[in-house]
Structure 1
Amino acid sequence: MSQTSRGGDTAPPSTATALPTPKERRRLREALSLSEEQVAEAMGVTKATVKAWETGRSAPRGRKREAYAKLLRGLPDDPAETPAGPTPAPTAHVRPKAADRRAARPPKGPARPEQRLKPAPEPAPDPVPAPEPAPEPVAARGPEPSGLTAEEAFDALYGHAAPGLVHQTYLLTGRRALSREAVEHAFHHAWEHWPEVAVDADPVGWVRAAAYEYALSPWHRLRRTHKHPDAPPTEAGRRALLGALLDLPAPYRRTVLLYDGLGLDLPETAAETEASTPAAANRLLYAHAEIGRRVPELADPEALQRRLATLVAEAPTATLPAARAVRGGSERRTRRLTRAVVGVTAALVCVTALTAVTAPTRYIPDIAPGQTVNGVPVRGGPQKLGEEDVELRDRLRSEPNPGPERLVPTVR
């Protein structure tokens, strides 16, 4: 697949239709205590559509995009729409020592929109000061000064994120081969959708979500190579923690790794796992309780966070193929899929054409099945000879004069 489009080629959206990142949309909605049903009713869409907007699977267009942008800018937490005056208290929960945990996590690409907003202007003498428009996202402003091509940007993302993702996926599954396969599959998928990934504010999170989804698929249990986990580590502490993680259900395991291991906030963790914030919090409480029961020294959440952060920050040892090979594999797979689709389509066209040619042009009634007719006389003629009759006939034909000679007639 030839990738010629880049993230900078996208036309920058207008100020009225600029939208924050999907994770920030969820945070802004929860800041006003609005449910997905209420937003869906206000926008005239379904709840599933609002969930798709907040997970990044789709985005509103046209008038709905403008109305959705106005709805988000109308929340108190958006500084672009906050009138001059005392700053309201933040409603989002920030746990202590979040900066220490985020120091170990890899950079997530361009800064989020709320981190790039300019400071609020000084109060104007007008009674109603006009709000300062929010700037467009960095990914939509055009090419960066570095001027990277699509291939160079993909190779940089692969070299930065792939080794760490393999290590994280191993903590989720306990299978090294599956973790490498999941990361390669995620980057294949990212190259196929590179225009979308290039403009994403968190490209590492995009690839991470794809790798986690593939690694945690229950269908891998049917494969012989990935049916059982690898041998546990020799160190007792690592073996106990990894065993406790693998005994958790997959959504709980993923939630605790994102929150405690990578240091994501609760709304970000809920958005990446496609769950509500209360559901993500309940998963964390259950996971902490189960891990504390299995490993008593990790009963304190802070101790668990430090241990998981240390595990995630370890230097990965996995050997991965080169980024060029990953791109080539993705393009070959796309070509094979395209050829298969074209072949199936051509076969369907041929079958349809053959059916149209050979099909009857008029209605042909079916032949009625046979029926029993009474009153017909029995077929005449000699009866069929039995076995004894046939044997006697053959003897008469082979022995025409079986009697004494004196009784044999003489021909004169």
Structure 2
Amino acid sequence: MTQSPATALPSPKERRRLREAKSLSQAELAAKIGVTRETVRSWESGRTAPRGRRRNVYAKLLAELANEQTVSGSVSGSVSGRRSVRRPSWAKDLAPPVDDTKGRKSPARIPVGAAINGHTRPERAPAVAQPERQPERQPERQPEPSTPPTAATTPVATPVTTPAEAFDALCTNCAPGLVRQTYLLTGRRTLAQESVERAFQLAWQRWPEVAVDRDPEGWVRAAAYEYAMSPWHRLRRSHRQPDAPPADPADRAFLAVLMSLPPAQRRTLLLYDGVGLDLPETAAETEASTPAAAGRLLNARDAIADRLPDVATTPEALHQRLGELCGAEKLRPPNAGLVRTGSETRARFWTRAAIAFTALIVGATALTLRTAPTHYEPPQSPGKAISGVPPRMGPGPLTYGDQLLHRKLREDLSSGPERLTPQAR
């Protein structure tokens, strides 16, 4: 079950980059749109997405910023012949070597998933410019008599990639690396697999939004990290005991140091030194400012250097050490087909549960209306004792004389004694 697509927006990282390129703060951008600073921050982190009129205004403003940046870049490029990449002075020792001519990292930094799976790209030799060859002019051919088309002359239609195929390709390519990254973030094998599976299920439910995103892997990675770092996992019974540590003592000590770091520092270290993101991209994904992300990274490196003096804290050494640590674990990535099926089953379950709960509320409301009284019945007030009223008097018990008199009266005639009648003489 997928959602209908809305107005297209750039990725959260691109939104933050466009705003910083224009030297706008989150408060200034929020004032132009008519929202709060916290709303703009959640949009740039990818936690929420704008809707309705605010989405249209936000998309139009980002398009204007992108057009201004494109125009300024083309003008400066035509004057100087290349773009210069400027970095703050406090971030020069944190950032990897940058090629000014191309504006990208050196090939020495590769994602953790690529280092584990061995998909390293060999350096290509510089291409030598060859002189353009003019196509030879061939004599015109005479039209041949019409013949039925054959297999050689019939154009072959290119297959159209379906959403399921595109999702399966994304899951197959990104799931192994994401499982290993999440294991470095949590130190739990089962939680890492569960987090990546839930993230891909959420991506399939919102596939129209994820498919047009400039960095689908980053979208899924952010969702997996958020689920893995949820504090509610500590209430689960299976998480009361830690997982079995790695077999190698060096890996065990390094993993213990990673787990001792605060979650924010651990995530920043993994994104910058493990995945290979830039400092602004790391700050955007961790929902922090660029100076705050740099401070977390420096504190994490200092903590590792204090507890493990023999481990080098350079970006290349930490990148290689993280790759070796997660590469030694046997983690099973989720299956793309099972993820899609599980996502649809989960969506159907919650949909039916919502329908059943709504029907239950409607039934309870109807029963209440049916059995409720239709008119007001005032309640009866409780009885109270009244003082000053004499007690109710009644006949008392008969005495012995009264009882004899009562018996005599009952035995006599009710009309009294007979009257004397005169007699004639």
**If the length of structure 1 is used for normalisation, what is the TM-score?**
0.72
Distance 1:148 1:19 in 2: 22
The one-letter code matched in structure 1 to 2:85 is P
Report SS of the residue matched to 2:242: coil
Cα displacement (A) at 1:27? 2.1
Cα displacement (A) at 1:302? 3.4
CA contact (8 A) 2:110 2:275 kept: no
Distance 2:33 2:87 in 1: 24
The one-letter code matched in structure 1 to 2:258 is L
Cα displacement (A) at 1:274? 1.3
Deviation digits for residues 264-314 of structure 1 (CA, Å, limit 9, x no counterpart): 001111111111111111110111111111111235323543334533783
**Aligned twin of 1:45:** 35
RMSD of the alignment, in Å? 3.0
1:370 counterpart = 2:370: no
Distance 1:47 1:88 in 2: 31
1:66 counterpart = 2:60: yes
**Aligned twin of 2:264:** 251
The one-letter code matched in structure 1 to 2:59 is R
Matches within 5 A, 1:191-206: 191-206=204-219
Deviation digits for residues 138-172 of structure 1 (CA, Å, limit 9, x no counterpart): xxxxxxx6521111111111111112211111111
The one-letter code matched in structure 1 to 2:21 is A
Structure 1 spans left out of the alignment, 5+ residues: 108-144, 384-412
Cα displacement (A) at 1:76? 8.1
| Aligned counterpart for 2:172 among listed residues 143, 146, 159 | 159
The one-letter code matched in structure 2 to 1:71 is L
CA contact (8 A) 1:262 1:309 kept: no
1:90 counterpart = 2:85: yes
CA contact (8 A) 2:22 2:65 kept: no
Distance 2:392 2:379 in 1: 31
CA contact (8 A) 2:210 2:219 kept: yes
CA contact (8 A) 2:268 2:293 kept: yes
Report SS of the residue matched to 2:310: helix
**Aligned twin of 2:92:** none
**Aligned twin of 2:45:** 55
Moved more, 312-321 or 185-194: 312-321
1:185 counterpart = 2:198: yes
Distance 1:160 1:150 in 2: 16
The one-letter code matched in structure 1 to 2:175 is A
Distance 1:24 1:149, change over 3 A: same
| Aligned counterpart for 2:239 among listed residues 226, 230, 234 | 226
Distance 1:379 1:163 in 2: 97
**Aligned twin of 1:130:** none
Distance 2:285 2:374 in 1: 58
Matches within 5 A, 1:136-151: 147-151=160-164
Moved more, 187-196 or 257-266: 187-196
1:24 counterpart = 2:14: yes
Distance 1:25 1:378, change over 3 A: same
Report SS of the residue matched to 2:237: coil
Report SS of the residue matched to 1:240: helix
**Aligned twin of 2:73:** 79
Distance 1:38 1:256, change over 3 A: same
Cα displacement (A) at 1:343? 0.5
Distance 1:28 1:92, change over 3 A: farther
Deviation digits for residues 314-367 of structure 1 (CA, Å, limit 9, x no counterpart): 386323453212211111111111111001101111111222233333333232
CA contact (8 A) 2:187 2:259 kept: yes
Cα displacement (A) at 1:233? 1.5
The one-letter code matched in structure 2 to 1:49 is T
1:235 counterpart = 2:229: no
Distance 1:333 1:258 in 2: 30
**Aligned twin of 2:106:** 99
CA contact (8 A) 1:73 1:81 kept: no
1:275 counterpart = 2:288: yes
CA contact (8 A) 1:289 1:299 kept: no
- Size of the aligned set, in residue pairs, is 336
Deviation digits for residues 114-135 of structure 1 (CA, Å, limit 9, x no counterpart): xxxxxxxxxxxxxxxxxxxxxx
Distance 1:307 1:105 in 2: 8
Distance 1:194 1:64 in 2: 21
Structure 2 spans left out of the alignment, 5+ residues: 89-94, 99-104, 115-157, 397-425
Distance 1:53 1:219, change over 3 A: closer
Distance 1:320 1:95 in 2: 30
Distance 2:395 2:164 in 1: 96
Distance 1:299 1:206 in 2: 31
Distance 1:179 1:381, change over 3 A: farther
Distance 1:34 1:189, change over 3 A: same
**Aligned twin of 1:357:** 370
Report SS of the residue matched to 1:357: helix
Distance 1:147 1:242, change over 3 A: same
Distance 1:337 1:346 in 2: 14
CA contact (8 A) 2:112 2:319 kept: no
**Aligned twin of 2:330:** 317
